[in-house]
Structure 1
Amino acid sequence: MEYYVELKLRKDAHNGGFSNGLTLCGSESTKGLERIQEKDNLIVYKNSYNHYITMNMVDHNDVIEVSTVFENRGCESTTIEMLSSFALKGIKADKIHRLQSFWSAEGKLRIETTKELHLEPSWNRCGMRVEKFGNLGSMPVRKYFPFIALENSETKEFTAVQLYIPFSWQIEILCKEDETLSLVGGIADRDFGHWFKNITPGETFTAPKAVIARGKSLYEVCDKLVKAQNPEISQLDQDMGIMFNEYCTTWGNPSFENIKKICNKLKDKAVKYLVIDSGWYGKNEGWWASIGDWDVNYEKFPGGLKKAADYIRENGMIPGLWFELESVGRLSKHWENTEHLLKKDGVVLTVGDKRFWDMSDPWVIEYLSNAVIHTLKECGFGYIKIDYNDTIGIGCDGAESLGEGLRQRIRATQEFFRKIKEVIPDIVIENCSSGGHRLEPSMMELVSQASFSDAHETTAIPIIAANMHRVIKPSQSQIWAVMRGSDSDNRIYYSIISTFFGRMCLSGDIYDMTDRQWSLIEEGMDFYREAADIIKSGTTIKIENLVKSYNKPEGEQTVIRKYENKLLVIAHRFENSNDISMDYIKNYKTVREYGTLECDFSAKAWLLVE
């Protein structure tokens, strides 16, 4: 396997082999690159225009971190239509692993052979074969995660890549001259993502980072990629504390009275955070359409938000508050504030009932600093849930291309995340985008936690939660357990045990639960706290799951996570399930167990030691 660079400049010819329109790889721009320097962790290229491309490859914690820098040392401006974050060639592989993702169904593992994808060289090696996929817009995990793993099933060798990219991206698998594959990825290019970038003399441009791992199993390479992520976890959030989010209690209609009711039920339950979700603002016209104003609804909160936050703290919890700060709803007073809203082709960009602030606009940043950061600080909130519920799409005005406009605005959003932490250093930030649409590493490194999904009460929750182990840290993956007064023992076990895949987030009609139900919930909370070190620091060594449908899951799932001499085993049964064998844990001693596996839609977890 060899590292190299793919580049396409506007002035240069496209590749042949029937590839134009399929890929920008192999262009005259790439063929014209000369390697002028090569070290263990550095390759420098130069072309006839006096452009320099430097690929840095840093070996760090069992992965290679790749960054690619384009520098224009010439006398004329140039236009990049594609620049790879990473490019690998000479890979021997026969299976492709990808992670598909739709709303409330994130991270489904998709495995295909190279033959199924038609990735075989043509009979005389003149035709390019291309499998190109990715995502367009400001929800980078809407169709696929920016992840791929190639497997050589003969040698059991895996090569996996994760892109650190919060906007439009692409990954390409290519085959032409021989039986090996090339693997290339980065910003979605001129053809795929409406992106090109003008580089003036003396200017540089750095492509988004990629991280590459190699190993002998999918578990190994995924674990390496996840452990390579370096999130800025708040000092308040180092202990895997349990949270309660009231969204599935009030369904977007919080008030001081129902927050008091929740507090009174939770004050002795060892819950660390209580988050006031959507609907605390506006004029009782619905939480969705009122986004953007952030004026507290004094009918619901007659003493203001500080009174509610103070009450939460008086009951021993850290108060949290929900914002969808990048968006403006149809009923907002800012709906027609078009000077500061994103446009595409000169027209205000409208998606359903949403418009979007231009996050690179100083006026917008000042407004949001007052509406969001000042509110958090003045009222004493220690936690912010930042939601994002639709996508900009292919891009926006404000730069030389729609894709570059998108890139710049999303980078500005990330700068606002940093600004929040600069003003409130210990703030706990939750990354939410209709659940899991922003679960990529560059966003995850800015936050303490993230919503794993908007799958609040579905039977697919444990499946989605287990999927997340391949791409984000379980210590950041916040999983819902929505409690209802009608819940059976099995339903309580099923829901609570699902949270053992990450961070426990309770919600629902908790004041309607019986003492018996509460005893089961608290038993699960105790189990979670005892398992927290395995969840946080362990390695997932098994995800056994043959489920096809997420709406009607059938079969069973077993997940094992190991840390030092301890195991956390989590088993769920779905419809038409079979008994789950425990043979693989017979040599371990049971420290604690929780739940039961007596029927369909039941669950059980074990803590074990060698």
Structure 2
Amino acid sequence: MEYYTEVKLMGDAYGAGFSNGLTMCGSQSAAAFRKVEDMGPDAVYDDDRQHRIVLHKKAAGQAVEVSTEFINDSAEAVTLEMLSSFAIRGINADRIHRLQSFWSAEGKLRTESIEELHLEPSWNRCGMRVEKFGNVGSMPVRKYFPFLVVEDSKKQEFLGIQLYCPSSWQIEILCKDDDTLTIVGGIADRDFGHWMKKLSPGEKFVTPKAVIAGGNTLYEVCDKLVKAQKPAISDVDKKMGIAFNEYCTTWGNPSYDNIKKICDKLKGKGIQYLVIDAGWYGKGQGWWNSMGDWSVNEDKFPGGLKKIADYIRSCGMIPGLWFEMESVGANSEHYEDKEHLLLKDEVPLTVGERRFWDMEDEWVINYLGGKVIKLLKECGFGYLKVDYNDTIGMGCDGPESLGENLRKKVQATQEFFRKIKAEIPEIVIENCSSGGHRLEPSMMELVSQASFSDAHETLAIPLIAANMHRVIRPEQSQIWAVLHAGDSDNRIFYSIASTFLGRMCLSGDIYDLSEAQWKLVEQGMDFYGMASEIIRSGVTVRCEYSTTQYNHPTGSQLVIRQLGSRCLAVLHRFENSEAADLEFLKGGRVIAEYGRVEEDFSAKAWIYEIDQ
């Protein structure tokens, strides 16, 4: 296995082997570079035209962090059409693992053999075979996560990769000269993501990084990749506190009165955050199309939001507030503000009834500084939920290519996240994009928590929650338990136990619950508190499920997470399930348990200790 680089410069020949249009790898540009020196773990490559590439490598925990730097030392401008973040050749593998993702169905594991992907070499090694996948747009987790694991099943060896790229990205698996694979990934190239980057003499460009790890199981590799992430978790959020988000209580219609009613019900119950979600702004036009102005609806919140934020704090909770700060809805007074919106083909880039602020525009940053940061400060909000409910697509107008303009706009969004954190250091930020469309590691490093999905009430919640263990830290993965007065005991167990796979967040008609129902919820909250250290610092060692359906799951799912000698096991039964097999508990000493798992759509969790 060898690390190297792939690059394509405008004007150079494309690769042969019938690959043009499938891949930009193997081009004349890449063939012209030769390694000239090693600088510790880094490698330097030159060509005859005074171009230089530095392949940067450094340790990242039990993984390796890789990025590529292109330096134009020539006297003429050069245009990149493709530059890999990482490229590895000589890989022996017979199975490929990817994570598919759609709205409210994030992270479904897709495993295929090399033969199923048709990646066997051709009979005379003439033709290049390519499996290329990725995402185009500003929702980097859509169809696929920027993630890949390859497996050599004979040797039980796995190699995993995560790309840190919040805009358009790609990963390629290639086969040509022998039975080994080449894997290449980075920014989506000119063919796939409309990306070109012009570098004047003396300029350089550094790619987004990738993190790469090896191991003997899929979950060992995933754990190394996830633990290489360095999230900016606020000090106040390091104890795995429980959140309550009122969205599935008011359904986009919060007010002073109903938030106060929620506060009165939650007071003294051990909730750390109470988050006011969408709908606190605008005037009777609906939350979906009114973002952009961020004027408090004083019919709902007379005198503004400070009064209710203060009331939340008086009840012992940290107040939180929802924004979709990058978007402008059709009912906003700024919807026609062409000067400050993203354009495509010289008209405002419009998706449904949404447009997008130009986050590189200084006026926009100052405007949002006043509307977002100032409001949070003045009202004393300690929690910010940042939502993002559609994608820019292939790119936008600007000084460079569509794909490069997109990359820079998303990079500017990330800078605004950093600005919020700099001005309100104690703020707890939640990353949400219609649920999980931004569960990508460079975004996750900017925040304390993330919405794992918008699957608030579906039966697939435990499946999606378990999927997230492969790509983000469970301590950041906020999983909702939406509660209703009509819930059976088993439904409460099912919902609450799902939150043990990450961070607990409650919602729903909590003021209509009976005392008996509240008792079950509070028992679950107590269990979560006991399990929180395992959730935060443990290793997922087992994840077994027997369903392929998310809308109508069948069978069961068992997830076990271990920290030292202590284990957390979470078992869910779906439709047509068999009696629970509790073999995993044999030889262990049960410390705590919650739930009941005696029939379909029930759940139970255990904390138990094992001998090591």
| Global fold match (TM > 0.5) | yes
* CA distances 1:527-563 after superposition (whole Å, capped 9, x unpaired): 0000000000000000001211101111100000000
Given residue 418 of structure 2, which amino acid in structure 1 is its aligned partner? R
Aligned equivalents of 1:546, 1:582: Cα separation in 2: 16
Name the structure 1 match of 2:240. Answer: 240
Given residue 396 of structure 2, which amino acid in structure 1 is its aligned partner? C
Aligned equivalents of 1:522, 1:62: Cα separation in 2: 38
DSSP 3-state at the match of 1:595: strand
Name the structure 2 match of 1:384. Answer: 384
Name the structure 2 match of 1:605. Answer: 605
Name the structure 2 match of 1:178. Answer: 178
Aligned equivalents of 1:409, 1:118: Cα separation in 2: 37
2:158 is aligned with 1:158: yes
Q: CA deviation at 1:39?
A: 4.5
DSSP 3-state at the match of 1:497: helix
Aligned equivalents of 1:67, 1:256: Cα separation in 2: 49
* CA distances 1:3-38 after superposition (whole Å, capped 9, x unpaired): 000000002100010000000000001100010012
Name the structure 2 match of 1:554. Answer: 554
Name the structure 1 match of 2:511. Answer: 511
Aligned equivalents of 1:346, 1:94: Cα separation in 2: 48
* CA distances 1:372-415 after superposition (whole Å, capped 9, x unpaired): 00000000000000000000000111131000010000000000
2:97 is aligned with 1:94: no
**Deviates most, 37-46 or 395-404:** 37-46
Aligned equivalents of 1:347, 1:177: Cα separation in 2: 47
2:258 is aligned with 1:261: no
Q: How does 1:139-538 map to 2 (within 5 A)?
A: 139-538=139-538
Name the structure 2 match of 1:109. Answer: 109
Given residue 187 of structure 1, which amino acid in structure 2 is its aligned partner? I
Given residue 431 of structure 1, which amino acid in structure 2 is its aligned partner? N
Misfit runs of 4+, over 4 Å? none
CA contact (8 A) 2:480 2:506 kept: yes
Aligned-residue RMSD, C-alpha:
0.6
Name the structure 1 match of 2:542. Answer: 542
Gap regions ≥5 residues in structure 1: none
Aligned equivalents of 1:578, 1:76: Cα separation in 2: 69
Aligned equivalents of 2:9, 2:303: Cα separation in 1: 60
Aligned equivalents of 1:2, 1:341: Cα separation in 2: 45
Q: How does 1:57-72 map to 2 (within 5 A)?
A: 57-72=57-72
* CA distances 1:65-116 after superposition (whole Å, capped 9, x unpaired): 0011111111000000000000000000000000000000000000000000
Aligned equivalents of 1:601, 1:314: Cα separation in 2: 38
DSSP 3-state at the match of 1:272: strand
**Deviates most, 574-583 or 248-257:** 574-583
Name the structure 2 match of 1:584. Answer: 584
Given residue 351 of structure 1, which amino acid in structure 2 is its aligned partner? V
Aligned equivalents of 2:122, 2:580: Cα separation in 1: 46
Aligned equivalents of 1:533, 1:328: Cα separation in 2: 40
Q: CA deviation at 1:288?
A: 0.4
The TM-score, its normalising length taken from structure 2, stands at: 0.99
Q: CA deviation at 1:463?
A: 0.2
Aligned equivalents of 2:98, 2:501: Cα separation in 1: 21
* CA distances 1:179-210 after superposition (whole Å, capped 9, x unpaired): 00000000000000000000111111000000
DSSP 3-state at the match of 2:233: coil
* CA distances 1:457-507 after superposition (whole Å, capped 9, x unpaired): 000000000000000000000000000000000000000000000000000
Q: CA deviation at 1:59?
A: 2.0
DSSP 3-state at the match of 2:143: coil
Aligned equivalents of 1:547, 1:385: Cα separation in 2: 32
Aligned equivalents of 1:232, 1:593: Cα separation in 2: 32
Aligned equivalents of 1:39, 1:161: Cα separation in 2: 23
Given residue 221 of structure 1, which amino acid in structure 2 is its aligned partner? V
CA contact (8 A) 2:580 2:598 kept: no
* CA distances 1:433-462 after superposition (whole Å, capped 9, x unpaired): 000000000000000000000000000000
DSSP 3-state at the match of 1:240: coil
Aligned equivalents of 2:415, 2:136: Cα separation in 1: 21
Name the structure 2 match of 1:12. Answer: 12
Name the structure 1 match of 2:570. Answer: 570
Given residue 590 of structure 2, which amino acid in structure 1 is its aligned partner? T
Given residue 577 of structure 1, which amino acid in structure 2 is its aligned partner? S
Aligned equivalents of 2:480, 2:54: Cα separation in 1: 44
Q: CA deviation at 1:303?
A: 2.7
DSSP 3-state at the match of 1:530: helix
Q: CA deviation at 1:350?
A: 0.3
Aligned equivalents of 1:570, 1:199: Cα separation in 2: 52
* CA distances 1:556-606 after superposition (whole Å, capped 9, x unpaired): 000000001100000000011112211122111000000011110000000
CA contact (8 A) 2:342 2:356 kept: yes
Aligned equivalents of 2:180, 2:9: Cα separation in 1: 26
Q: CA deviation at 1:176?
A: 0.1
Q: CA deviation at 1:347?
A: 1.7
* CA distances 1:131-169 after superposition (whole Å, capped 9, x unpaired): 000000000001100000000000000010000010000
Aligned equivalents of 1:148, 1:454: Cα separation in 2: 24
Name the structure 2 match of 1:42. Answer: 42
The TM-score, its normalising length taken from structure 1, stands at: 1.00
**Matched residue count:** 610
Given residue 232 of structure 2, which amino acid in structure 1 is its aligned partner? E
Aligned equivalents of 2:320, 2:59: Cα separation in 1: 38
